[in-house]
Chain A
Amino acid sequence: MTSTSAITAVDLSKAFSIPHETRGTLREHVLHPLRRTTHERNQALQEVSFEVGQGEFFGVIGPNGSGKSTLLRILAGIYAQDSGTVDVRGRLSPFIELGVGFNLELTARDNVVLTGTLLGLTRQQLDEKFDEILAFAELERFIDQKLNNFSSGMLLRLAYSIAIQVPFDILLLDEVLAVGDESFQEKCYRTLIDIRHAGKTVVLVSHNLYAVARLCERVMLLRNGVVEALGRPDEVIRAYREQEGTEDPWPAAAPAFEETKSVWEHVAGGPG
């Protein structure tokens, strides 16, 4: 698997220190250079190892504060790990959450330019894709409105539409399917499937276990910064739900979606 892995993480550890004063001041620092502020270590990740294959759809689940976002940020190079190695093969998408770079005081048009530039599009690419971005978001009418006046779902639509224009081989996504309405979520699922079709790798962090079960080929369960389970989505999710003592909140709804239970069933080369 090593030769075809997109991400290889070995023994990743990360601790944050929590200073016991609310905020250090330079004054304190200068007046009492010898007094060490006491720090408590908060081990956010502990020797986390895993591999994500090229073209794989990989899910990460776990309770709040279990280290999922921290892990994604280390993979993206936003945080530096304390120890361990990350090997990434291919172009990473530069964002992990949607809507980064949005400025609510600017119009949608300016935001498309600003965010697109931050995500790596050239002026020319932006010009070419501008209409496509707005059409996908179905927000053409609001192009000259400030984002202030957008609903959170509209923001997500715009963000998502820009994000999928960015060239990448590996997509890291942290909780992105949360606020869109059903038709847009459906649209997102479809583009994610297209992304998979195109041979791209996706790491998806989500609390939406239904979406995780539907989209991912393998799922990793993190708890207190430790990998607790890694394997088939249904098994890992079942184990997670058992530990948490939760159940599928909409068991009655599940049968209605039975036919789409795993989207990979219609995807050539997907897991059987």
Chain B
Amino acid sequence: MSSTAYSLAKPSPRADRLGYCLRVIRTAAAMEFKLKYAGSAVGYVWSLARPLAYFAVLWVVFERFLRIPGPAVENYPLYLLTGLVLYLFFIDAISMTMMSIVARGALLRRMALPPLLIPLSVSLTAALTFCVNAVAVVVLLAVHRVRPELDWLLLIPLVGELLAFILGIGLIASALYVRFRDVAQIWELASQLLIFATPIMYPVTLLPPRVQEVVFLSPLVQVIQDVRLLIVGLNAETETLAGVLGSDAWRLVPVSIALATLVVGLVYFRRDAPRLAERV
């Protein structure tokens, strides 16, 4: 029995609104990106510092000392860096999105802004950061004189799938974080575990076969392995989803999980959206 009616004297409110939303997402993401890098070249270098530091440590420890990848992995530096850059995209984008609503509580309380625009623009910033970090992979590819091939275009839907998964989790986490502040600690812990649970620094074949089958249902693992298959080269028989689970059709499972997560995230966020401003 409560309602709010707005009659807008606009020619085409719907198209107007979509245009407005896109402008806000783009401008806010660009400004956020600018802030992060303070408009300086040093800023970009700093963004690369994290993946490169991880890379250096893990490379030395795993390849030089432990010799874990062994002959199973042909080009370990490239294998490792690809995995790391995707993993950090996943972790950082979700962390940033999770904090986004609470961080902009003051704005939400003073402006009639569709709350959804906030996590969307923040994920876009994270995607831009990912593109900067991907430059490191490109450099390494160039060093190894890897030639780009036409099927590299498949990287686009793969990154899209990962982004959908990220957005889905990020939307749920951002709405939950408004009410439960320990969501941040839980995510912190999960992301620490994830770097070991995901074949980032070691080859998938190191895991027991049963575990491999389960691990491949994760969109993160599937995307990382498919990207590696395209640009690093893997043993398709033993190291990709199709090889491990027996058929390419299995790929539908992680892809569906990613898309379903996005849908659930959108629904959950929309359900909470009217109360977000007063709860932050």
Knowing A24-B179, A88-B4, A103-B35, say if A80 contacts B274 (CB, 8 Å). yes
Name the interface residues of A71-86: CB closer than 8 Å to any CB of B. 73-74, 76-86
Nearest CB to that of B277 among chain A residues? A78
Name the interface residues of B120-151: CB closer than 8 Å to any CB of A. none
CB neighbours (8 Å) of A16 from chain B are: 278
User: How near does chain A come to B16, taking the closest CB pair, in angstroms?
Assistant: 9
With most chain A CB atoms within 10 A of its CB, the pick from B4, B8, B107 is B4
Q: Evaluate contact between A78 and B108: CB separation under 8 angstroms.
A: yes
Contact among A77, A84, A123, A174 with B23 in the assembled complex (CB-CB below 8 Å): A123
CB neighbours (8 Å) of A92 from chain B are: 6, 112
CB neighbours (8 Å) of B35 from chain A are: 103, 105-106
Nearest CB to that of B278 among chain A residues? A79
Knowing A80-B275, A85-B3, A100-B111, say if A169 contacts B31 (CB, 8 Å). no
Q: Evaluate contact between B9 and A83: CB separation under 8 angstroms.
A: no
Q: Evaluate contact between B5 and A88: CB separation under 8 angstroms.
A: yes
Contact among B2, B20, B182, B277 with A120 in the assembled complex (CB-CB below 8 Å): B20
CB neighbours (8 Å) of B110 from chain A are: 78, 95-97, 100, 174
CB neighbours (8 Å) of B1 from chain A are: 83
In the complex, what distance in Å separates the CA atom of A148 from the CA atom of B128? 26
Name the interface residues of B244-259: CB closer than 8 Å to any CB of A. none
A90 at the interface (CB under 8 A from B): yes
In the complex, what distance in Å separates the CA atom of A80 from the CA atom of B28? 25
Nearest CB to that of A169 among chain B residues? B9
Nearest CB to that of A121 among chain B residues? B23
Residues 90-132 of A, flagged 1 when their CB comes within 8 A of B and 0 if not, give 1110111100110101100010011001101011000000000
Q: Evaluate contact between A85 and B111: CB separation under 8 angstroms.
A: no
Contact among A25, A78, A79, A113 with B180 in the assembled complex (CB-CB below 8 Å): A25
Majority-rule SS of B interface residues: helix
CB neighbours (8 Å) of B108 from chain A are: 78
Q: Evaluate contact between A91 and B112: CB separation under 8 angstroms.
A: no
CB neighbours (8 Å) of B182 from chain A are: 25-27
User: How near does chain A come to B140, taking the closest CB pair, in angstroms?
Assistant: 33
Nearest CB to that of B273 among chain A residues? A80
Q: How many of chain A's residues touch chain B, expressed as a range? A: 35 or more
B113 at the interface (CB under 8 A from A): yes
Q: Evaluate contact between B180 and A29: CB separation under 8 angstroms.
A: yes
In the complex, what distance in Å separates the CA atom of A165 from the CA atom of B222? 50
In the complex, what distance in Å separates the CA atom of A77 from the CA atom of B34? 31
Contact among B5, B31, B176 with A114 in the assembled complex (CB-CB below 8 Å): B31
Q: Evaluate contact between B4 and A103: CB separation under 8 angstroms.
A: no
B contacts with A, residue count (CB < 8 A): 38
CB neighbours (8 Å) of A87 from chain B are: 4-5
CB neighbours (8 Å) of B271 from chain A are: none
Q: Evaluate contact between A78 and B176: CB separation under 8 angstroms.
A: no
A89 at the interface (CB under 8 A from B): yes
Q: Evaluate contact between B176 and A122: CB separation under 8 angstroms.
A: no
B75 at the interface (CB under 8 A from A): no
B263 at the interface (CB under 8 A from A): no
B10 at the interface (CB under 8 A from A): yes
In the complex, what distance in Å separates the CA atom of A174 from the CA atom of B112? 14
In the complex, what distance in Å separates the CA atom of A120 from the CA atom of B23? 9
A23 at the interface (CB under 8 A from B): yes
Q: Evaluate contact between B112 and A100: CB separation under 8 angstroms.
A: no
User: How near does chain B come to A63, taking the closest CB pair, in angstroms?
Assistant: 20
Q: Evaluate contact between B23 and A78: CB separation under 8 angstroms.
A: no
Q: Evaluate contact between B107 and A101: CB separation under 8 angstroms.
A: yes
Name the interface residues of B3-49: CB closer than 8 Å to any CB of A. 3-10, 19-20, 23-24, 27-28, 31, 34-35
User: How near does chain B come to A73, taking the closest CB pair, in angstroms?
Assistant: 7
B181 at the interface (CB under 8 A from A): yes
Q: Evaluate contact between B181 and A25: CB separation under 8 angstroms.
A: yes
Q: Evaluate contact between B2 and A82: CB separation under 8 angstroms.
A: yes
CB neighbours (8 Å) of A81 from chain B are: 2, 4
With most chain B CB atoms within 10 A of its CB, the pick from A74, A87, A117 is A117
CB neighbours (8 Å) of B10 from chain A are: 91
In the complex, what distance in Å separates the CA atom of A117 from the CA atom of B30? 12
Knowing A16-B278, A79-B277, A117-B24, say if A84 contacts B112 (CB, 8 Å). no
CB neighbours (8 Å) of B186 from chain A are: 26
CB neighbours (8 Å) of B181 from chain A are: 23, 25
Supplied contacts A25-B182, A86-B5, A110-B34, 10 more A-B pairs, CB within 8 Å: A26-B186, A29-B180, A77-B6, A80-B274, A80-B275, A88-B7, A96-B111, A101-B107, A103-B31, A118-B107
Residues of B within 8 A of A (CB): 1-10, 19-20, 23-24, 27-28, 31, 34-35, 106-113, 176, 179-183, 186, 274-275, 277-278
Q: Can you list 19 A-B pairs with a CB-CB distance of less than 8 A?
A: A16-B278, A26-B183, A77-B112, A78-B111, A80-B4, A80-B275, A86-B5, A87-B5, A91-B9, A92-B112, A94-B111, A95-B110, A100-B110, A101-B107, A103-B31, A106-B31, A110-B34, A118-B107, A118-B113
